[in-house]
Amino acid sequence: MQNLLNPDRPVNVNSVAVLLSLMFLHLVGPQAVILQPAFVDGMVSQLGFSPVQGGYVAAAENSGKAVQSLLMMVLVTRVNWRYLFYGALGVLMVGNLLCTVVDDYQTFRVLRFCTGIANGTIVPLCYVVVGLTAAADRNFGLLIVSLMVYAAVIFFAIPTIFAMAGLVGLLLVFASFAGLALPVVRNVPTQGEQQTSVDGGGLTLPWSLRGMALGAMFLYFVATFGIWTYMSLIGRDAGIPAQQVANALTLSQFAGIAGALIAVVLGSRYGRAWPLAIALVGSIVSLLILGSYRTAMGFVIAACLFNLLWNTAHPYLLGAHASFDRSGRQVTYAVAMQMMGIAAGPAVAASILTGGTYGQVITLCTALLAVTLVLIQPPVLRESTLSRKRELAAASGH
């Protein structure tokens, strides 16, 4: 059994088997998070939870992910990676199966916190292993693309799943995929050193600028997940039929794939300031459309534009943080800010909905995206200036 689950053999992290295993593990871990609009919709329509309760359940799952992502900074250097994967997949299987027989709000929220812990183990660990590969940028893009394809298929099938088996059907999908991922864990390495590869080398920025960038990372994901969690219900609130909402979210996943591919193809060829500015301003425009044009076509355009630019901005935000210091610690802090933003977004939106409307949620998230733009540009522009100066000095022989 020991040799079956944890074979003692060298692992080539650049092999196709490792890459395919990571792609599958990466889509299994965050299933409920990437499908959060449909999952929240299911809790409301199938279990009878209120939209506010649905938001707090989503926040609980995201909180588990955030807490565990912080612990992973210690565990990743001390525990066999395969054991971490096995443990997390086991929690996902059991947690989702238990959720099929629980309809009490408080118990359901605790169970989703536990599945969030599993998610917070799998996703960071996948990033660590991808960071060891020779083509990390390309492989990161492939992880995002495979996740988006999976989400597109499930979003399209959601109305059918709910009609046939309710929310239980979706939970069984989550548990089944976690079980199917168990055999591929033996393909990943057991340990290794995390390596940080930065385009153009690393430059240390002062903490004032790095703190601004961390604040931008946190606020960006508060805004993103404040909207994403309720995207399906926002469409339903506008009177759009469930299948049309599902179709729009399916199309948005393909837009997200295009966004990830844009970042992979362009890389840092045009710097990071302009791509981030365009992505953030475009995201603001998408939310203005979402709040102003409450029609099926308006919803499709807003959802697709939002997902396109979200998946374009995310790699650039990570790349920017990687360039801010030579040690690579900034990336670790940035991922922690991302996880905390993902956890806070649904809770903030739910608190607004306690006595407010979806329009107020959209307004707040639009404002947070604007603040994100203001915070991220100074450190990105400063890093770009320092990088150019260093390149000129190197070219002149100084």
- 262-278 burial code (b ≥16 CB/10 A, e <16): bbbeeebeebbbebbee
What pLDDT, on the 0 to 100 scale, is given for residue 1? 55
For residue 47, the SS3 value is coil
Could you tell me which residue, 101 or 138, shows the higher pLDDT? 101
Q: Of the candidates 254, 252, 313, which has an alpha carbon nearest to the alpha carbon of residue 282?
A: 313
What pLDDT, on the 0 to 100 scale, is given for residue 202? 46
- Same-domain check for residues 184 and 219: no
Cα–Cα–Cα angle for 216, 254, 244, rounded to 5 degrees: 105
Q: With respect to residue 3, please indicate whether it lies within any of the assigned structural domains.
A: no
Phi-psi domain of 387 (left: phi exceeds 0; alpha: psi -120 through 50; beta: other): alpha
Q: With respect to residue 2, please indicate whether it lies within any of the assigned structural domains.
A: no
Q: What is the rounded CA–CA span in Å between residue 307 and residue 56?
A: 23
Q: With respect to residue 5, please indicate whether it lies within any of the assigned structural domains.
A: no
Q: Of the candidates 28, 8, 1, which has an alpha carbon nearest to the alpha carbon of residue 184?
A: 28
The range of the structural domain enclosing residue 223 comes to 196-398
- Same-domain check for residues 258 and 322: yes
Q: With respect to residue 365, please indicate whether it lies within any of the assigned structural domains.
A: yes
- Same-domain check for residues 97 and 221: no
What pLDDT, on the 0 to 100 scale, is given for residue 85? 95
What pLDDT, on the 0 to 100 scale, is given for residue 103? 83
Which of residues 194, 215, 232 is at a domain's end?
Answer: 194
Give 217-232 pLDDT, tens digit per residue: 999 999 999 999 899 9
Q: With respect to residue 64, please indicate whether it lies within any of the assigned structural domains.
A: yes
What pLDDT, on the 0 to 100 scale, is given for residue 285? 97
What pLDDT, on the 0 to 100 scale, is given for residue 118? 95
What pLDDT, on the 0 to 100 scale, is given for residue 218? 96
Total count of domains within the chain: 2
What pLDDT, on the 0 to 100 scale, is given for residue 333? 77
Residues 164/287, Cβ–Cβ less than 8 Å:
no
Q: Which two tokens stand for residue 21?
A: 């295993």
The percentage of residues in the chain with a pLDDT greater than 90, rounded to a whole number, is 43
Q: Please provide the average confidence, as pLDDT, over all residues in the chain.
A: 86
- Same-domain check for residues 176 and 204: no
Q: Nearest 10 degrees: CA dihedral of 159, 164, 165, 166?
A: 40
The residue assigned the tokens 């995207």 is 231
Q: With respect to residue 380, please indicate whether it lies within any of the assigned structural domains.
A: yes
Query: Mean per-residue pLDDT for 169-192?
Result: 91
- Same-domain check for residues 318 and 379: yes
- Same-domain check for residues 242 and 385: yes
Q: Of the candidates 171, 383, 160, which has an alpha carbon nearest to the alpha carbon of residue 273?
A: 383
| Confidence band, pLDDT 50/70/90 cuts, at residue 394 | low
Q: What is the rounded CA–CA span in Å between residue 334 and residue 314?
A: 11
Q: What is the rounded CA–CA span in Å between residue 137 and residue 134?
A: 9
Q: With respect to residue 237, please indicate whether it lies within any of the assigned structural domains.
A: yes
- Same-domain check for residues 174 and 229: no
- Same-domain check for residues 200 and 349: yes
CATH number of the domain that residue 366 is part of = 1.20.1250.20
Give 192-205 pLDDT, tens digit per residue: 544 444 444 445 67
- Same-domain check for residues 17 and 165: yes
What pLDDT, on the 0 to 100 scale, is given for residue 231? 92
What pLDDT, on the 0 to 100 scale, is given for residue 384? 82
pTM score over 0.75: no
- Same-domain check for residues 154 and 205: no
Could you tell me which residue, 141 or 38, shows the higher pLDDT? 38
Give 50-91 pLDDT, tens digit per residue: 988 988 898 899 889 888 888 887 787 788 989 999 999 999
- Same-domain check for residues 101 and 224: no
- Same-domain check for residues 205 and 156: no
Residue at 178: amino acid letter: A
Which of residues 194, 217, 239 is at a domain's end?
Answer: 194
What pLDDT, on the 0 to 100 scale, is given for residue 3? 57
Q: With respect to residue 4, please indicate whether it lies within any of the assigned structural domains.
A: no
Could you tell me which residue, 222 or 158, shows the higher pLDDT? 222
Which of residues 149, 178, 194 is at a domain's end?
Answer: 194
